[in-house]
Amino acid sequence: MVSYLTEALVAGGHDVTLFASGDSVTSADLVAVRDRSLRNHPRPCDPAVWHTIMLDEVSRRADQFDVIHFHVDCTHYPMARRCLTPCVTTLHGRLDLPDLAALHQHFAEHPVVAISNAQRRLLPQANWCATVHHGLPLALYDFNGTPQDYFAFVGRVSPEKRLDRAIEIALACNTRLRIAAKVDAADRNYFETVIRPLLNHPLIAFEGEVGDGDKNALLGNARALLFPIDWPEPFGLVMIEAMACGTPVVAYARGAVPEVMDHGVSGFVVSNQSQAIEAARSIGEIDRQACRRGFERRYVSSIMASEYVKVYESLARRRGTVKLRSVGGTDHVIRTPG
Protein backbone atom coordinates (compact mmCIF):
# COMPACT_ATOMS: atom_id res chain seq x y z
CA MET A 1 0.00 0.00 0.00
CA VAL A 2 2.94 2.34 0.70
CA SER A 3 4.11 1.81 -2.88
CA TYR A 4 0.68 2.65 -4.33
CA LEU A 5 0.53 5.82 -2.22
CA THR A 6 4.07 6.82 -3.14
CA GLU A 7 3.49 6.39 -6.87
CA ALA A 8 0.21 8.31 -6.74
CA LEU A 9 1.89 11.18 -4.89
CA VAL A 10 4.72 11.33 -7.42
CA ALA A 11 2.17 11.27 -10.26
CA GLY A 12 0.44 14.18 -8.54
CA GLY A 13 3.58 16.30 -8.78
CA HIS A 14 4.95 15.86 -5.28
CA ASP A 15 8.61 15.26 -4.43
CA VAL A 16 8.79 12.01 -2.52
CA THR A 17 11.54 10.30 -0.57
CA LEU A 18 10.94 6.65 0.22
CA PHE A 19 12.84 4.96 3.06
CA ALA A 20 12.72 1.26 2.20
CA SER A 21 14.89 -1.65 1.08
CA GLY A 22 17.19 -1.34 -1.92
CA ASP A 23 15.15 -3.76 -4.04
CA SER A 24 12.10 -1.47 -3.89
CA VAL A 25 10.81 -0.37 -7.31
CA THR A 26 9.77 3.27 -7.03
CA SER A 27 9.52 6.57 -8.88
CA ALA A 28 10.43 8.37 -5.65
CA ASP A 29 13.90 9.16 -4.34
CA LEU A 30 14.91 5.96 -2.55
CA VAL A 31 16.93 5.88 0.66
CA ALA A 32 17.89 2.27 1.45
CA VAL A 33 19.65 0.99 4.56
CA ARG A 34 19.86 -2.60 3.26
CA ASP A 35 19.95 -4.14 -0.19
CA ARG A 36 16.84 -6.32 -0.06
CA SER A 37 13.62 -6.61 1.91
CA LEU A 38 13.61 -8.64 5.11
CA ARG A 39 11.00 -10.98 3.66
CA ASN A 40 13.14 -11.81 0.62
CA HIS A 41 16.40 -12.32 2.50
CA PRO A 42 17.78 -15.89 2.27
CA ARG A 43 18.70 -16.04 5.97
CA PRO A 44 16.81 -15.03 9.13
CA CYS A 45 17.13 -11.36 10.05
CA ASP A 46 16.22 -9.31 13.10
CA PRO A 47 13.77 -6.65 11.88
CA ALA A 48 14.44 -4.46 14.94
CA VAL A 49 18.04 -3.91 13.82
CA TRP A 50 17.09 -2.57 10.42
CA HIS A 51 14.12 -0.56 11.65
CA THR A 52 16.41 1.11 14.20
CA ILE A 53 18.97 1.99 11.53
CA MET A 54 16.24 3.28 9.24
CA LEU A 55 14.70 5.44 11.97
CA ASP A 56 18.09 6.94 12.69
CA GLU A 57 18.48 7.78 9.00
CA VAL A 58 15.03 9.39 8.96
CA SER A 59 15.88 11.39 12.08
CA ARG A 60 19.17 12.56 10.60
CA ARG A 61 17.42 13.92 7.49
CA ALA A 62 14.20 15.11 9.15
CA ASP A 63 14.78 18.82 8.59
CA GLN A 64 14.80 18.24 4.81
CA PHE A 65 11.11 17.36 4.79
CA ASP A 66 7.79 19.15 5.17
CA VAL A 67 5.99 16.13 6.64
CA ILE A 68 7.14 12.65 7.67
CA HIS A 69 4.55 9.91 7.21
CA PHE A 70 5.25 6.63 9.00
CA HIS A 71 3.83 3.21 8.16
CA VAL A 72 5.65 1.23 10.85
CA ASP A 73 4.21 0.30 14.21
CA CYS A 74 5.21 2.57 17.11
CA THR A 75 8.98 2.41 17.56
CA HIS A 76 9.30 5.88 16.04
CA TYR A 77 6.95 7.61 18.51
CA PRO A 78 9.76 8.86 20.83
CA MET A 79 11.65 10.22 17.82
CA ALA A 80 8.52 11.89 16.43
CA ARG A 81 7.88 13.59 19.78
CA ARG A 82 11.25 15.35 19.53
CA CYS A 83 11.12 16.04 15.80
CA LEU A 84 10.50 19.62 14.61
CA THR A 85 9.10 18.34 11.31
CA PRO A 86 5.39 17.36 11.51
CA CYS A 87 4.96 13.57 11.74
CA VAL A 88 1.93 11.36 11.19
CA THR A 89 1.44 7.60 11.35
CA THR A 90 -1.04 5.36 9.56
CA LEU A 91 -2.11 2.46 11.76
CA HIS A 92 -2.62 -0.59 9.55
CA GLY A 93 -3.29 -3.35 12.06
CA ARG A 94 -5.89 -4.47 14.57
CA LEU A 95 -6.46 -2.03 17.42
CA ASP A 96 -8.46 -4.08 19.92
CA LEU A 97 -5.36 -5.05 21.93
CA PRO A 98 -5.49 -3.52 25.45
CA ASP A 99 -1.86 -2.31 25.56
CA LEU A 100 -2.50 0.10 22.69
CA ALA A 101 -4.65 2.35 24.87
CA ALA A 102 -1.72 2.95 27.24
CA LEU A 103 0.60 3.63 24.31
CA HIS A 104 -1.63 6.26 22.77
CA GLN A 105 -2.40 7.88 26.09
CA HIS A 106 1.34 8.25 26.66
CA PHE A 107 1.91 9.69 23.16
CA ALA A 108 -1.38 11.58 23.13
CA GLU A 109 -0.04 14.36 20.90
CA HIS A 110 1.04 12.08 18.04
CA PRO A 111 -1.41 12.29 15.10
CA VAL A 112 -2.55 9.03 13.57
CA VAL A 113 -4.61 8.01 10.53
CA ALA A 114 -7.06 5.10 10.45
CA ILE A 115 -7.69 2.93 7.40
CA SER A 116 -11.36 2.56 8.38
CA ASN A 117 -13.77 4.11 10.85
CA ALA A 118 -14.38 0.65 12.28
CA GLN A 119 -10.68 0.36 13.11
CA ARG A 120 -10.70 3.86 14.56
CA ARG A 121 -13.56 3.19 16.97
CA LEU A 122 -11.53 0.49 18.73
CA LEU A 123 -8.96 3.01 20.01
CA PRO A 124 -10.70 6.22 21.11
CA GLN A 125 -7.60 7.22 23.10
CA ALA A 126 -5.62 7.87 19.91
CA ASN A 127 -5.14 11.33 18.41
CA TRP A 128 -7.05 10.61 15.21
CA CYS A 129 -6.65 13.20 12.48
CA ALA A 130 -8.31 11.35 9.58
CA THR A 131 -9.64 8.11 8.14
CA VAL A 132 -8.20 7.29 4.72
CA HIS A 133 -9.32 4.14 2.94
CA HIS A 134 -6.85 2.09 0.94
CA GLY A 135 -6.65 2.62 -2.81
CA LEU A 136 -5.26 0.68 -5.77
CA PRO A 137 -3.92 1.86 -9.13
CA LEU A 138 -6.80 2.00 -11.58
CA ALA A 139 -5.18 -0.40 -14.05
CA LEU A 140 -3.74 -2.83 -11.50
CA TYR A 141 -6.62 -5.32 -11.87
CA ASP A 142 -8.49 -6.14 -15.07
CA PHE A 143 -12.28 -6.21 -15.18
CA ASN A 144 -13.82 -9.57 -16.12
CA GLY A 145 -17.51 -9.72 -16.93
CA THR A 146 -17.56 -13.44 -17.77
CA PRO A 147 -16.29 -15.41 -14.76
CA GLN A 148 -15.77 -19.14 -14.49
CA ASP A 149 -17.74 -21.40 -12.17
CA TYR A 150 -15.76 -21.26 -8.92
CA PHE A 151 -15.44 -19.26 -5.72
CA ALA A 152 -12.13 -17.84 -4.47
CA PHE A 153 -10.58 -17.51 -1.02
CA VAL A 154 -7.48 -15.33 -0.73
CA GLY A 155 -5.65 -14.61 2.51
CA ARG A 156 -3.88 -16.20 5.45
CA VAL A 157 -4.79 -19.59 6.83
CA SER A 158 -5.51 -18.57 10.40
CA PRO A 159 -8.43 -19.05 12.81
CA GLU A 160 -9.76 -15.51 12.36
CA LYS A 161 -9.92 -15.81 8.55
CA ARG A 162 -12.26 -18.84 8.80
CA LEU A 163 -11.27 -20.80 5.73
CA ASP A 164 -13.36 -23.60 7.20
CA ARG A 165 -16.46 -21.46 6.70
CA ALA A 166 -15.49 -20.76 3.09
CA ILE A 167 -15.14 -24.48 2.42
CA GLU A 168 -18.56 -25.15 3.97
CA ILE A 169 -20.15 -22.42 1.82
CA ALA A 170 -18.62 -23.78 -1.39
CA LEU A 171 -19.67 -27.37 -0.66
CA ALA A 172 -23.20 -26.26 0.20
CA CYS A 173 -23.35 -24.55 -3.21
CA ASN A 174 -21.74 -27.54 -4.97
CA THR A 175 -19.19 -25.09 -6.38
CA ARG A 176 -15.41 -25.34 -6.69
CA LEU A 177 -13.33 -23.33 -4.22
CA ARG A 178 -9.85 -22.19 -5.21
CA ILE A 179 -7.79 -21.28 -2.15
CA ALA A 180 -4.82 -18.93 -2.54
CA ALA A 181 -3.43 -18.70 0.96
CA LYS A 182 -0.20 -18.73 2.89
CA VAL A 183 0.39 -20.62 6.11
CA ASP A 184 2.55 -18.75 8.60
CA ALA A 185 4.64 -20.73 11.07
CA ALA A 186 2.38 -19.65 13.93
CA ASP A 187 -0.63 -21.11 12.12
CA ARG A 188 0.95 -24.38 10.95
CA ASN A 189 -0.66 -26.49 13.68
CA TYR A 190 -4.07 -24.95 12.97
CA PHE A 191 -3.66 -25.74 9.28
CA GLU A 192 -2.65 -29.35 9.88
CA THR A 193 -5.31 -30.15 12.49
CA VAL A 194 -8.31 -28.10 11.34
CA ILE A 195 -7.93 -27.17 7.67
CA ARG A 196 -6.00 -29.99 5.99
CA PRO A 197 -8.70 -32.62 6.72
CA LEU A 198 -11.21 -30.36 4.93
CA LEU A 199 -9.14 -30.20 1.74
CA ASN A 200 -9.73 -33.83 0.78
CA HIS A 201 -12.64 -33.10 -1.55
CA PRO A 202 -12.69 -32.81 -5.37
CA LEU A 203 -14.31 -29.36 -5.20
CA ILE A 204 -11.59 -27.91 -2.96
CA ALA A 205 -8.23 -26.82 -4.42
CA PHE A 206 -5.51 -25.46 -2.13
CA GLU A 207 -3.05 -23.53 -4.32
CA GLY A 208 -0.84 -21.87 -1.71
CA GLU A 209 0.34 -18.28 -1.87
CA VAL A 210 0.07 -16.59 -5.30
CA GLY A 211 1.75 -13.57 -6.84
CA ASP A 212 0.00 -10.42 -8.01
CA GLY A 213 -0.39 -11.58 -11.62
CA ASP A 214 -1.89 -14.92 -10.63
CA LYS A 215 -4.11 -13.17 -8.09
CA ASN A 216 -5.57 -10.99 -10.84
CA ALA A 217 -6.59 -14.05 -12.85
CA LEU A 218 -7.79 -15.96 -9.79
CA LEU A 219 -10.01 -13.13 -8.54
CA GLY A 220 -11.17 -11.97 -11.96
CA ASN A 221 -12.34 -15.40 -13.06
CA ALA A 222 -14.14 -16.17 -9.79
CA ARG A 223 -17.90 -15.95 -9.43
CA ALA A 224 -17.32 -14.50 -5.97
CA LEU A 225 -14.71 -13.93 -3.30
CA LEU A 226 -15.60 -15.58 0.00
CA PHE A 227 -14.53 -13.49 3.01
CA PRO A 228 -16.12 -15.19 6.06
CA ILE A 229 -13.88 -13.58 8.69
CA ASP A 230 -14.24 -13.80 12.47
CA TRP A 231 -12.17 -10.87 13.73
CA PRO A 232 -12.26 -7.02 13.76
CA GLU A 233 -10.89 -6.61 10.22
CA PRO A 234 -9.18 -3.18 9.96
CA PHE A 235 -9.92 -2.90 6.23
CA GLY A 236 -9.80 -6.05 4.08
CA LEU A 237 -7.64 -5.22 1.07
CA VAL A 238 -8.59 -8.35 -0.86
CA MET A 239 -12.21 -7.16 -0.95
CA ILE A 240 -11.33 -4.11 -3.06
CA GLU A 241 -8.95 -6.21 -5.17
CA ALA A 242 -11.92 -8.41 -6.03
CA MET A 243 -14.16 -5.39 -6.67
CA ALA A 244 -11.53 -4.02 -9.07
CA CYS A 245 -12.03 -7.19 -11.14
CA GLY A 246 -15.80 -6.81 -10.95
CA THR A 247 -15.93 -9.86 -8.70
CA PRO A 248 -18.53 -9.54 -5.92
CA VAL A 249 -17.75 -10.47 -2.32
CA VAL A 250 -19.66 -12.52 0.24
CA ALA A 251 -18.37 -11.23 3.57
CA TYR A 252 -19.23 -11.47 7.23
CA ALA A 253 -20.19 -8.18 8.90
CA ARG A 254 -17.09 -7.91 11.09
CA GLY A 255 -14.80 -4.94 11.48
CA ALA A 256 -14.65 -2.70 8.43
CA VAL A 257 -16.64 -5.02 6.15
CA PRO A 258 -19.96 -3.07 6.25
CA GLU A 259 -18.00 0.15 5.70
CA VAL A 260 -15.96 -1.10 2.74
CA MET A 261 -18.74 -3.10 1.09
CA ASP A 262 -21.81 -1.67 -0.62
CA HIS A 263 -24.37 -4.37 0.15
CA GLY A 264 -26.21 -5.47 -2.98
CA VAL A 265 -23.73 -3.68 -5.28
CA SER A 266 -20.26 -5.02 -4.47
CA GLY A 267 -21.65 -8.23 -3.02
CA PHE A 268 -23.48 -9.28 0.12
CA VAL A 269 -22.75 -8.59 3.79
CA VAL A 270 -23.94 -11.47 5.99
CA SER A 271 -24.12 -12.39 9.66
CA ASN A 272 -24.16 -16.20 9.69
CA GLN A 273 -23.53 -19.28 7.59
CA SER A 274 -27.08 -19.72 6.36
CA GLN A 275 -27.06 -16.13 5.06
CA ALA A 276 -23.61 -16.67 3.54
CA ILE A 277 -24.72 -19.79 1.68
CA GLU A 278 -27.85 -18.07 0.37
CA ALA A 279 -25.79 -15.05 -0.69
CA ALA A 280 -23.30 -17.25 -2.53
CA ARG A 281 -26.14 -19.00 -4.34
CA SER A 282 -27.57 -15.60 -5.34
CA ILE A 283 -24.29 -14.01 -6.38
CA GLY A 284 -25.33 -13.92 -10.04
CA GLU A 285 -27.74 -11.12 -9.12
CA ILE A 286 -24.79 -8.75 -8.66
CA ASP A 287 -23.92 -6.59 -11.68
CA ARG A 288 -20.17 -7.03 -12.11
CA GLN A 289 -19.82 -3.74 -13.99
CA ALA A 290 -21.53 -1.90 -11.12
CA CYS A 291 -19.16 -3.65 -8.74
CA ARG A 292 -16.18 -2.35 -10.73
CA ARG A 293 -17.66 1.16 -10.89
CA GLY A 294 -17.97 1.16 -7.11
CA PHE A 295 -14.25 0.40 -6.88
CA GLU A 296 -13.41 3.22 -9.29
CA ARG A 297 -15.53 5.67 -7.32
CA ARG A 298 -14.07 4.89 -3.87
CA TYR A 299 -10.86 2.88 -3.90
CA VAL A 300 -8.43 4.23 -6.51
CA SER A 301 -4.94 5.18 -5.31
CA SER A 302 -5.21 8.74 -6.66
CA ILE A 303 -8.19 9.29 -4.32
CA MET A 304 -6.20 7.88 -1.41
CA ALA A 305 -3.28 10.20 -2.22
CA SER A 306 -5.55 13.25 -2.39
CA GLU A 307 -6.94 12.44 1.06
CA TYR A 308 -3.44 12.10 2.48
CA VAL A 309 -2.39 15.43 0.96
CA LYS A 310 -5.22 17.04 2.96
CA VAL A 311 -3.75 15.46 6.10
CA TYR A 312 -0.24 16.72 5.30
CA GLU A 313 -1.45 20.25 4.60
CA SER A 314 -3.45 20.32 7.83
CA LEU A 315 -0.43 19.22 9.86
CA ALA A 316 1.80 21.80 8.22
CA ARG A 317 -0.68 24.61 8.88
CA ARG A 318 -1.00 23.53 12.50
CA ARG A 319 2.77 23.67 12.96
CA GLY A 320 3.08 26.92 11.02
CA THR A 321 5.63 25.43 8.65
CA VAL A 322 6.29 26.42 5.05
CA LYS A 323 3.73 25.73 2.33
CA LEU A 324 3.83 22.03 1.53
CA ARG A 325 5.36 21.10 -1.75
CA SER A 326 5.80 17.36 -1.67
CA VAL A 327 5.06 14.08 0.03
CA GLY A 328 6.74 10.74 0.20
CA GLY A 329 6.51 7.19 1.34
CA THR A 330 8.52 4.61 3.16
CA ASP A 331 8.06 2.01 5.70
CA HIS A 332 7.31 5.60 6.38
CA VAL A 333 6.08 7.98 3.68
CA ILE A 334 8.01 11.24 3.73
CA ARG A 335 7.34 14.71 2.48
CA THR A 336 10.38 16.44 1.06
CA PRO A 337 11.03 19.93 -0.26
CA GLY A 338 10.36 20.50 -3.94
Q: What is the mean pLDDT of residues 137-164?
A: 97
167, 240 contact by CB (below 8 A)? no
76, 55 contact by CB (below 8 A)? yes
Task: Check pLDDT > 50 for residue 307.
Answer: yes
Q: Where are the alpha helices (DSSP H) in 42-90?
A: 47-61, 77-81
Task: Check pLDDT > 80 for residue 144.
Answer: yes
Calculate the alpha carbon distances from 118 to 87, 142, 223, 238 in Å: 23, 29, 28, 17
What pLDDT does 35 receive? 64
pLDDT digits (tens, 9 = 90+) for 100-122: 999 999 999 999 999 999 999 99
Task: Check pLDDT > 50 for residue 325.
Answer: no
What pLDDT does 280 receive? 98
Separation CA 169–CA 160 (nearest Å): 16
Q: Identify the weakest region by mean pLDDT among 92-96, 164-168, 254-258.
A: 92-96
Task: Check pLDDT > 80 for residue 47.
Answer: no
Separation CA 108–CA 34 (nearest Å): 32
Separation CA 229–CA 250 (nearest Å): 10
Q: Give residue 244's pLDDT band: very low, low, confident or very high (50, 70, 90).
A: very high
Question: What single-letter DSSP state applies at residue 285?
Answer: G
Beta-carbon contacts of residue 225 (< 8 Å; ≥ 6 apart): 151, 152, 153, 154, 219, 238, 239, 242, 247, 248, 249, 250, 267
Q: What is the mean pLDDT of residues 219-241?
A: 98
List b or e across 225-237, with b for residues whose CB sees 16 or more CB atoms inside 10 angstroms: bbbbbeebbbbbb
Task: Check pLDDT > 90 for residue 255.
Answer: yes
Q: What is the mean pLDDT of the chain?
A: 90
What pTM, to 2 d.p., does this model score? Answer: 0.90
What pLDDT does 20 receive? 82
Q: Give residue 40's pLDDT band: very low, low, confident or very high (50, 70, 90).
A: low
Task: Check pLDDT > 50 for residue 326.
Answer: no
* Domains of the chain as residue ranges with CATH: 2-135+300-335 (3.40.50.2000), 150-298 (3.40.50.2000)
- State the Cα angle at 79 between 78 and 82, rounded to 5°: 95
Q: Give residue 32's pLDDT band: very low, low, confident or very high (50, 70, 90).
A: confident
How remote is the C-alpha of 32 from its chain's centroid? 23
210, 179 contact by CB (below 8 A)? no
Beta-carbon contacts of residue 276 (< 8 Å; ≥ 6 apart): 165, 169, 226, 228, 250, 252, 270
- If we measure between CA atoms, which residue out of 123, 72, 69 comes closest to residue 94? 123
